[in-house]
Amino acid sequence: MDNVSSTPYVAEPFQVDFNGKLFMSVLGNNLLNTAGFHANDRGFGIATLNQSKYTWVLSRFVIEMNEMPSQYEHYSIETWIEKVFRFFTNRNFAIKGDGGKVYGYAKSIWAMISLDTRKPEDLLVLHGGSIVNYVVPEKECPIDPPGRVKVTDAEPVFTYRSCYSDIDVNGHVNSVKYMEHMINLLPFQLFKEHFIKRFEIAYVAESYIGDVLHFFLHKNSELEYLIDVRKEAENGTFETVCRGFIQLI
Amino acid sequence: MDNVSSTPYVAEPFQVDFNGKLFMSVLGNNLLNTAGFHANDRGFGIATLNQSKYTWVLSRFVIEMNEMPSQYEHYSIETWIEKVFRFFTNRNFAIKGDGGKVYGYAKSIWAMISLDTRKPEDLLVLHGGSIVNYVVPEKECPIDPPGRVKVTDAEPVFTYRSCYSDIDVNGHVNSVKYMEHMINLLPFQLFKEHFIKRFEIAYVAESYIGDVLHFFLHKNSELEYLIDVRKEAENGTFETVCRGFIQLI
- Beta carbons of A17 and B163 less than 8 Å apart: no
Closest Cα in chain B to A179? B165
Which of A97-101, A130-134, A195-199 has the weakest average pLDDT? Answer: A130-134
Query: At a CB cut-off of 8 Å and minimum separation 6, what does B221 contact?
Result: none
Each residue of B145-175: pLDDT tens digit?
Answer: 998 888 888 899 999 999 999 999 989 999 9
Q: Which residues of chain A have a CB within 8 Å of the CB of B176?
A: 14
Q: What is the pLDDT of residue B1?
A: 78
Q: Do A5-134 and A155-248 come out as alike in CATH topology?
A: yes
Query: At a CB cut-off of 8 Å and minimum separation 6, what does B154 contact?
Result: B216, B217, B218, B226, B227, B228
- Beta carbons of A18 and B46 less than 8 Å apart: no
pLDDT at B54 over 90: no
- Beta carbons of A165 and B186 less than 8 Å apart: no
Given a contact cutoff of 8 angstroms between Cβ atoms, the answer to whether A95 and A238 are in contact is: no
> CB A86: neighbour CB atoms within 10 A?
11
Mean of the pLDDT values across residues A205-231? 97
Residues 61-100 of A with CB under 8 A from B: 71-72
pLDDT at B46 over 90: no
Closest Cα in chain B to A11? B33
- Domain spans in chain B, listed from the N-terminal domain onward: 5-134, 155-248
Q: Which residues of chain A have a CB within 8 Å of the CB of B19?
A: 169
Each residue of B180-226: pLDDT tens digit?
Answer: 999 999 999 999 999 999 999 999 999 999 999 999 999 999 999 99
Q: Which CATH number fits domain A155-248: 3.40.640.10, 3.40.50.720, 3.40.50.300, 3.10.129.10?
A: 3.10.129.10
Q: Which residues of chain A have a CB within 8 Å of the CB of B71?
A: 169
| Interface predicted TM-score (ipTM) | 0.93
Please state, rounded to an integer, the average pLDDT across all residues of chain B: 93
- Beta carbons of B14 and A176 less than 8 Å apart: yes
A26 touches chain B (CB under 8 A): no
Question: Which superfamily is assigned to A5-134 in CATH?
Answer: Hotdog Thioesterase (3.10.129.10)
- Beta carbons of A14 and B32 less than 8 Å apart: yes
Which member of A13, A163, A169 has the closest CB to residue B36? Answer: A13
- Please state, for a pLDDT cut of 70, what percent of chain B lies above it: 98
| B68: nearest Cα among B197, B165, B171, B181 | B197
Distances (CA, A) of B198 to A9, A142, B90, B105: 30, 49, 18, 10
Q: Which residues of chain B have a CB within 8 Å of the CB of A20?
A: 169
Given a contact cutoff of 8 angstroms between Cβ atoms, the answer to whether A24 and A179 are in contact is: yes
pLDDT at A240 over 80: yes
pTM above 0.90, yes or no: yes
Q: Which residues of chain B have a CB within 8 Å of the CB of A164?
A: 17-18, 183-184, 186, 188, 191
How far does the CA of residue A215 sit from the closest CA of chain B (Å)?
15
